[in-house]
Structure 1
Amino acid sequence: MTAPVIGAALGTADLETYRDWILEKNRDLELQAFHAPEALDGDWGPEADHTRKLLDGYTGRLGIHGPFWGFSISSPDPEIRKVIAKRMDQGLDICAAVGATQMVIHSPYTTWDYNNLDDKPGARERVIECSHGSIGAAVKRAEDQGVVLVLETIQDIDPQDRRVLADSFDSEALRLSIDTGHVHYACGSTGAPPVDYFVRAAGDWLHHVHLQDADGYADRHWAIGEGTILWPSVFRALGEIEASPRLILELRDKAGIPASMRYLEGLGLGQ
């Protein structure tokens, strides 16, 4: 079986550095230059134009990391949900400007939720209701725009929660994402199952994976091979599902991309 082609999450300066590597195999690319509040509210047009020029000739799968700072999509405050809806619209505006077909957003499920949602009647349904209030319009717009929103694991302990939430929208424009380091943190620190369990639970709903290594204690974003994630088990699980998720190196230090690739190539897991 041919090893999957690995891509990366990059800011604009990093894209300039790794442009040739991305274009050589039209690797999956996630732009991480437009999600901060100051970027969303600023004049991002020139940077979007520059990005498009850098990607001249690129035919791979392009996405962005969407807005997430300072909010949960399941906020019970209707005024906050209006702000979230605005941020989602801004993210989709950027998708349109750069030609992105995927936008990463964050799961609302917390460690507290895992232990408390079933203690209060209707609490699980309330998370879903409030999430619809925040991103329902964005999901409909994404359908029309040809964009898929992907719910990334953050504090998730139960791998099924995000799938139930996504399914409630009854839309192909909302699917699932896994961040390997987030799951490994939750596995080591809060009792979640390991990464391969999350992959299998997501199944064909899995459209995106952040690849980063960690130690099970914190959200490290280390180069692949520096932490304790059991990578053969992760890629074995990925090979068992029908979906072809975007596989994105999301490293704190982008200089670790070559070493990460050497590690994965050495194990025959990626190229």
Structure 2
Amino acid sequence: MTDLPLLGVAIPTTTLETLQDFILSENRDLEIQDFCDADLLNGDWKTVADHARTLLTGYTGRLGIHGPFWGLNIASPDTEMRALNRRKHLQGIEVCEHLGATQMVIHSPYTTWSYNNLDNAPERKEYDRLLENCHDTMDEVVKRAEDCGVTMVIENIEDIDPDIRCALADSFSSPAMAVSIDTGHAHYAHGTNGAAPVDYYVRRAANRLQHIHLQDADGYADRHWAIGEGTIRWESVFRALGEFDSNPRLILELRDKAGILPSVAYLQSLGLAR
């Protein structure tokens, strides 16, 4: 049983106060959620970060944050919006450096519209333009992340194509850019928009995959339910994860944090994780 993958959690600092022993007892991977809040990033974020560091005294696990994303799109066609995106993501890297975090989750720019329209022009103009916009936004952020030892992981949001995020990460040719999967987002894309099932997303990411948000859902909406409450086929997901050696952080990202411990127990009862 101890050979099973060790589950981590995505929680705000207030919940860290209640799950401190659970995390520290086995140095579980941790993703702190506070710093996606724009008002906090524009204000006294260091007080929150310092409180988290105090709660994590003695912690030797892998620490990350969810980066800013509300209202942001790293492929914005507007030059001024790209500058804002760049500044917000640089703020996220600054938080990582202050905390000693080594990973930051960022959001994919691809939409359901993208899937049907990026190649709807000669010479893939829209596809190439979107890549150019992403690089204009993120090249400076990637360089800063490299200098700080931070890896950004691109999370699927509306992505129907499981490969397109991987191609975006590869285009930076940097260890500071890798891939994340959110199981509920993939299941939504599968159930509502005809995308492949979740385990296919895992296989297509392969060893680019360094982070996964584990949440259950029904294929209709972004539920963030406790594991076992939805319809994701968890055996197939963990079977696919076992085919690669990138050792992604397995992060429970649940709307109701009371579901974290029951989710751990559920996956342990299936012999999939602990």
Instruction: Bin the TM-score by the shorter chain.
Output: over 0.9
Structure 2 residue 88 is matched with structure 1 residue 87: yes
Q: Which residue is equivalent to 2:73? A: 72
Select the residue among 189, 205, 216 that pairs with 2:219.
216
Q: Which residue is equivalent to 2:57? A: 56
TM-score (norm 2): 0.98
Q: Which residue is equivalent to 1:184? A: 187
Which blocks of at least 5 consecutive residues in structure 2 are unaligned? Answer: none
Question: Letter of the aligned partner of 1:10 in structure 2?
Answer: I
Shift of 1:168: 0.8
1:175-226 CA distance string (max 9 Å, x none)? 0000000000000000110110000000010000000000000000000000
CA separation in 1, counterparts of 2:270 and 2:244? 20
CA separation in 1, counterparts of 2:187 and 2:210? 19
**Equivalent position SS for 2:65:** strand
Q: Which residue is equivalent to 1:43? A: 44
Q: Which residue is equivalent to 1:239? A: 242
1:40-65 CA distance string (max 9 Å, x none)? 10111111111100000000000000
Q: Which residue is equivalent to 1:270? A: 273
Aligned residue runs from structure 1 range 1-271, under 5 A: 2-121=3-122, 122-271=125-274
Shift of 1:258: 1.3
**Equivalent position SS for 2:153:** strand
CA separation in 2, counterparts of 1:184 and 1:3? 24
Shift of 1:97: 1.1
CA separation in 1, counterparts of 2:176 and 2:45? 25
CA separation in 2, counterparts of 1:125 and 1:88? 22
Which blocks of at least 5 consecutive residues in structure 1 are unaligned? Answer: none
Question: Letter of the aligned partner of 1:47 in structure 2?
Answer: V
Any runs of at least 4 consecutive aligned residues in structure 1 with deviations exceeding 6 A, and if so which? none
CA separation in 1, counterparts of 2:22 and 2:199? 28
**Equivalent position SS for 1:19:** helix
CA separation in 2, counterparts of 1:127 and 1:160? 15
CA separation in 1, counterparts of 2:239 and 2:173? 29
**Equivalent position SS for 1:118:** coil
Shift of 1:120: 2.0
Shift of 1:39: 0.8
Q: Percent identity?
A: 61
Q: How many pairs align? A: 271
